[in-house]
């Protein structure tokens, strides 16, 4: 009887979270997804072509993660996949200083969609394990995050490769589960 009750409780009372990962190509979106799902980034993944969808469980929360390709031809499609999500995760390669302006342009183009006006935004400042990375304050300025007032946002400096600060990113996501 206890097993049946536990199964019913998990079916009807577990929390759900739908998240979309966007960011320029090679920023580390899939590596972050691997850390969430497997607790490791040892999996060799080619660049995402189009999108990947993964469903995973963490504790009592069921995650559906949409990992969208960051190549230029896919960026116009980001808005289509971000609508209806509980959280948008924007991944930035902090070691690639020259591409911060492009990341800013793409992020603000995405957030111009009125359907996203109140969706929480998690900015992952990835690859902090490398040398000469953009600081958190410079990234906030570089992406013009101070001008985002409708969306709750947070920047978390991570190394998706080594798992550094991934639990803090996960904590932000879990706060937005339904």
b (16+ CB within 10 A) / e for 65-102: bbbbbbeeebbeebbebbeebbbbbbbbbbebeebbee
For residue 172, is pLDDT > 70? Answer: yes
Architecture of domain 15-174: 3-Layer(aba) Sandwich (3.40)
Query: For residues 78 and 20, what is the distance between their CA atoms, to the nearest angstrom?
Result: 9
- What is the per-residue pLDDT across 49-103, written as a single tens digit (0 to 9) for each? 678 899 998 777 888 999 999 999 999 999 999 989 999 999 999 999 999 999 9
For residue 117, is pLDDT > 70? Answer: yes
- pLDDT, position 57: 86
What's the pLDDT band for 38 if we cut at 50, 70, 90?
confident
- pLDDT, position 176: 81
Q: Is 30 annotated as a binding residue?
A: yes
Q: Is 128 annotated as a binding residue?
A: yes
- pLDDT, position 60: 79
Q: Is 48 annotated as a binding residue?
A: yes
- Say what the pTM is: 0.89
For the chain, give the DSSP string. -HHHHHHHHHHHH-EEEEEEEE-STTSSHHHHHHHHHHS---S--PPP-SEEEEEEEETTEEEEEEEE--SHHHHTTHHHHHTT-SEEEEEEETT-GGGHHHHHHHHHHHHTSGGGTTS-EEEEEE-TTSSSPPPHHHHHHHTTGGG--SS-EEEEE-BTTTTBTHHHHHHHHHTT--
Q: Is 118 annotated as a binding residue?
A: no
Q: Is 28 annotated as a binding residue?
A: yes
- pLDDT, position 175: 87
Q: Is 52 annotated as a binding residue?
A: no
Q: Is 29 annotated as a binding residue?
A: yes
Q: Is 111 annotated as a binding residue?
A: no
Q: Is 2 annotated as a binding residue?
A: no
Q: Is 26 annotated as a binding residue?
A: yes
Q: Is 136 annotated as a binding residue?
A: no
């Amino acid at each position: 009887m206890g097993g049946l009750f536990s199964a019913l409780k998990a079916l009807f009372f577990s929390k759900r979270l739908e998240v979309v990962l966007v960011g320029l190509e090679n920023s580390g979106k899939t590596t972050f997804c691997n850390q969430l799902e497997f607790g490791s980034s040892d999996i060799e993944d080619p660049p995402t072509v189009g999108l990947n969808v993964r469903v995973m469980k963490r504790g009592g929360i069921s995650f559906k993660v949409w990992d969208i390709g960051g190549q230029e031809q896919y960026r116009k499609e980001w808005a289509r996949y971000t609508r209806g999500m509980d959280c948008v995760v924007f991944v930035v390669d902090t070691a690639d200083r020259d591409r911060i302006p492009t990341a800013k342009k793409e992020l603000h183009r995405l957030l111009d969609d009125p359907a996203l006006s109140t969706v929480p935004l998690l900015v992952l400042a990835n690859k902090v394990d490398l040398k000469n990375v953009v600081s958190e304050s410079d990234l906030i300025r570089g992406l013009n995050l101070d001008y985002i007032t409708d969306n709750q946002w947070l920047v978390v400096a991570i190394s998706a490769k080594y798992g550094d600060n991934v639990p803090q990113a996960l904590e932000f996501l879990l706060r937005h589960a339904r």
